[in-house]
Structure 1
Amino acid sequence: MFQLEKFSLKDKVSAEEWQVRVDLAACYRLVAEHRWGDLIYTHISARVPNTDHYLVNAFGLTFDEVTASNLVKVDLHGNILDGSPYTINPAGFTIHSAIHEVRHDAQCVIHLHTKATIGVATVRGGLKPWSQYAMFSLASLSYHGYEGLAVNAEEKQRLQSDLGSTNHMLLHNHGGLTLGPTVGDAFMRFYDLQRACEIQMDLLQSGQPVIEIPQEIVDGIQQQANVVHSGETGGQKAWPAMLRRVYKLDPSFCE
């Protein structure tokens, strides 16, 4: 039986690493609160500042059990560092390592298997510009074809190529992915992608005709989205409020 060990790393790591641990643990709790998780599967990873080391969830924990201290530190190959008592899901870290390897601007990568993102990633045509939420994602969106479990080096290269410089990805028949320069940015980008996909699936299921937005307006909003939904007016602005929410839900995440 998997035992949940309780210990604190707060005074054993740098202040910078501890803050990333707190933010990442909070992100896991928010994903659990929104019911975007997948039992003990899927992952959110974050780079430890000024290193090539990464934090990811321990394999066997549900997202509402993740804390700042039980996050596991690994290198790009998934090797566990600093003597953590936990293991990780090596196959699950493959996608994250592929992205961290080439996107040095991304501190955080979120990859989840939500019904909405799987649905939109699986229908022909992908994400449609049918809501304002979609505009935020469409401004920087890519797609990656399904090749089975992402465990081989060749697919990693294709994933990297498909992602390019975008910050949102839909993986056909698989799910959604976002990345950002902070945990907060990556979370808010996934929030927008998830909302856009939920709205699209609801509209498709309604069977009612959709009011199409003229392309010139779509183009204009996408340009605005690149500015308005980044930096201080995007994840970094919203993240303190998200942290307050998690503290209210269960402050044990920061232990």
Structure 2
Amino acid sequence: MEIEAGRIAVPSVRDRVSAAEWAVRVDLAACYRIVAHYGWDDLVFTHISARLPGEDHHFLINPYGLMFEEVTASSLVKVDLAGEKVLESPFAINPAGFVIHSAIHAAREDAQCVLHLHTPAGVAVSCQKEGLLPISQQSLFVQTSLGYHGYEGVALNDAEKPRLVADFGRNTFLILRNHGLLTVGGSIADAFLAMFTLERACEIQIMAQSGGGALVPIPQAILDGARAQSAQVTRGLGGALAWPGILRKLDRIDPGYRS
């Protein structure tokens, strides 16, 4: 690893991994960059992890100490479920971050990607006793698959894992009380779209509450039909509908993630 003109230079690993792994690396690096673009990052803290193809139960996670805008396909760290590196890397990973991610990956084979953030709006909603309110169209989609997990301090203790997994259940969205937001998806694109929806719902809630007036809840009958409506909105494609456009956006403004 070298620093050149304020940039971290990381040797490419493209020739050392399979084509399938490289594709996941590119998508995950793109996810880090687009999170930074929206201002959802928290310096070098929080994480996005992705399961790699195959039976080895290997995962990619960010190098601890790099800004999200610096993450590249080659700099991502390949680890096993114990957080041990399985491909040589000059970077370490955050042990607190992987406690959360490894717990969910181990319990949920469908969780190909786990995305965790500490956005101001997300943390603000996580501190509210009633949590996310059903007051916006965005919140409507979240309410169909939302769990809550109580705060137990910085996530360093493996003993918290079973409680986290139990609170999450089979949901897509998780609000970590006094802490932040988490989403999972069957792909990186799905996890990102879920987070975009959850984060936007939290932003809208904080803005609506700041007006000081009474809020109008969405009727229960409409909430009950939200899951089917969500599939219609994305034409059944989930995050794959928006992801190609996100990659095109990054290729215009921040193409370094592909290296």
TM-score range, shorter-chain basis? over 0.9
CA distance, structure 2, for counterparts of residue 92 and residue 60 of structure 1: 13
CA drift at 1:44: 0.2
Alignment-derived partner of residue 22 in structure 1 = 26
Partner AA of 2:33 in structure 1: R
Alignment-derived partner of residue 217 in structure 1 = 222
| Matching residue within 123, 146, 149 for 1:141 | 146
Paired residue secondary structure (1:155): helix
TM-score, scaled to structure 2: 0.94
Alignment-derived partner of residue 137 in structure 2 = 132
CA distance, structure 2, for counterparts of residue 252 and residue 246 of structure 1: 9
Query: Structure 2: which 5+ residue stretches go unaligned?
Result: none
CA drift at 1:232: 4.2
**Aligned ranges 1:199-218 → 2 under 5 Å:** 199-218=204-223
CA drift at 1:48: 0.7
1:168 aligns with 2:173: yes
CA distance, structure 2, for counterparts of residue 16 and residue 103 of structure 1: 21
Alignment-derived partner of residue 53 in structure 2 = 49
**Aligned ranges 1:60-75 → 2 under 5 Å:** 60-75=65-80
Paired residue secondary structure (2:48): strand
Paired residue secondary structure (1:176): strand
Between 1:126-135 and 1:205-214, the stretch displaced more is 205-214
Alignment-derived partner of residue 12 in structure 1 = 16
CA drift at 1:58: 0.3
Between 1:180-189 and 1:207-216, the stretch displaced more is 207-216
Alignment-derived partner of residue 95 in structure 1 = 100
TM-score, scaled to structure 1: 0.95
CA distance, structure 1, for counterparts of residue 248 and residue 215 of structure 2: 37
CA drift at 1:236: 1.2
For the 8 Å contact 2:151–2:177, the answer to whether it is kept is yes
Distance 1:229 1:117, change over 3 A: farther
**Cα-to-partner distance string for 1:26-66 (whole Å, 9 max, x where unaligned):** 00000000000000110000011113000000011000000
Paired residue secondary structure (2:116): strand
CA distance, structure 1, for counterparts of residue 110 and residue 227 of structure 2: 21
Partner AA of 2:254 in structure 1: D
| Matching residue within 46, 64, 83 for 2:88 | 83
| Matching residue within 212, 234, 239 for 2:238 | 234
Alignment-derived partner of residue 42 in structure 2 = 38
CA distance, structure 2, for counterparts of residue 15 and residue 222 of structure 1: 34
CA distance, structure 1, for counterparts of residue 197 and residue 112 of structure 2: 19
CA drift at 1:231: 7.9
Paired residue secondary structure (1:100): helix
Alignment-derived partner of residue 152 in structure 1 = 157
RMSD: 1.6
Paired residue secondary structure (2:78): strand
For the 8 Å contact 1:228–1:234, the answer to whether it is kept is no
**Cα-to-partner distance string for 1:127-183 (whole Å, 9 max, x where unaligned):** 111111001111100000000011112211100010110010000000000000100
Partner AA of 2:251 in structure 1: Y
Alignment-derived partner of residue 111 in structure 1 = 116
| Percent identity between the two aligned chains | 51
1:120 aligns with 2:128: no
